[in-house]
A = this chain, B = another copy of it.
């Protein structure tokens, strides 16, 4: 499946497998990020999984491509956004997503990135990479910006019906990720709820709170409400995937609406338009600071391998950011930190 010369050339590099085909945006958007990655990251080796003819014709349009730093892996199928997680295990074994995960499972790639169907990625990930001991279900974790620094939010969509035991396991994994990878000392872990009082929330959340409280590995600070997740009060915020997904996407929606409102306010009359021109660089800096693309790239935790999920609608810039996240996770050894044998063979310097 993988050209042997590519395999040998890649032994000294960080090797990332990219699912070129899956996502809401066209594969061209992801190929644009490939070009930037090859330019910006000299130590990177990429497996590009997808339609070989398309990938080759895209790359041939770009002058100066170093073909020795990539391997094209041809796939004949693509997982669509409407494929069910159960059906893909049977029907999409020759898809770009499946073949990408196989490269991580075999150790050819240190990590992989896909912008495709989250449920399918989770089902295939569990099947091909296996779960970490003592973890029942993978969770997706992402960084969110806070008043000072950032926090980890999980799960943001892998599980839409989490039990108290699942939530407890997410708390353990989130805490390990925060301390080992983001170097937070004794990370403060909070559980998302509709209020901070003991009686608030549903049964799963209240039971999870008791389980987490009893766990000595976790520095549990109690419940946190939606408005406080960006306050910097907690380093890790644990919730069910349905709730986390809605929270994250709502945050993106508000940030986008607020930016539009701001621009509209500066266009209200000739004087504010004039002021808008004057403050244009300041507004650009502001937009950069609240740009969700900066935080694209969510980590699948609980799998024996590094899998990064890009936002489905990520453009080239966003997908690039997700691959950077994967590179970072390989460099800091996320799998090792989470006491997992990734089988990837890449050893990072301490």
Alpha-carbon separation in the docked complex, A246 to B62 (Å): 46
Contact A256 B227 (CB under 8 A): yes
Q: In the complex, what residues of B have CB within 8 A of residue A53's CB?
A: none
Q: Mark A132-149, 1 if CB is under 8 A from B, else 0.
A: 000000000000011100
Q: Mark A300-325, 1 if CB is under 8 A from B, else 0.
A: 00000000000000000000000000
Chain A residues 223-268 with CB under 8 Å of chain B are 225-231, 239, 241-243, 245-258, 260-262, 265-266, 268
Task: Pull 12 A–B residue pairs with CB atoms less than 8 Å apart, ordered by A.
Answer: A81-B197, A160-B194, A160-B201, A225-B246, A228-B249, A229-B253, A250-B254, A255-B258, A265-B285, A265-B289, A275-B279, A279-B279
Contact B249 A251 (CB under 8 A): no
A286 at the interface (CB under 8 A from B): yes
Contact A202 B282 (CB under 8 A): no
Q: In the complex, what residues of B have CB within 8 A of residue A186's CB?
A: none
A272 at the interface (CB under 8 A from B): yes
Alpha-carbon separation in the docked complex, A248 to B265 (Å): 23
A84 at the interface (CB under 8 A from B): yes
Q: In the complex, what residues of B have CB within 8 A of residue A202's CB?
A: 160-161, 242
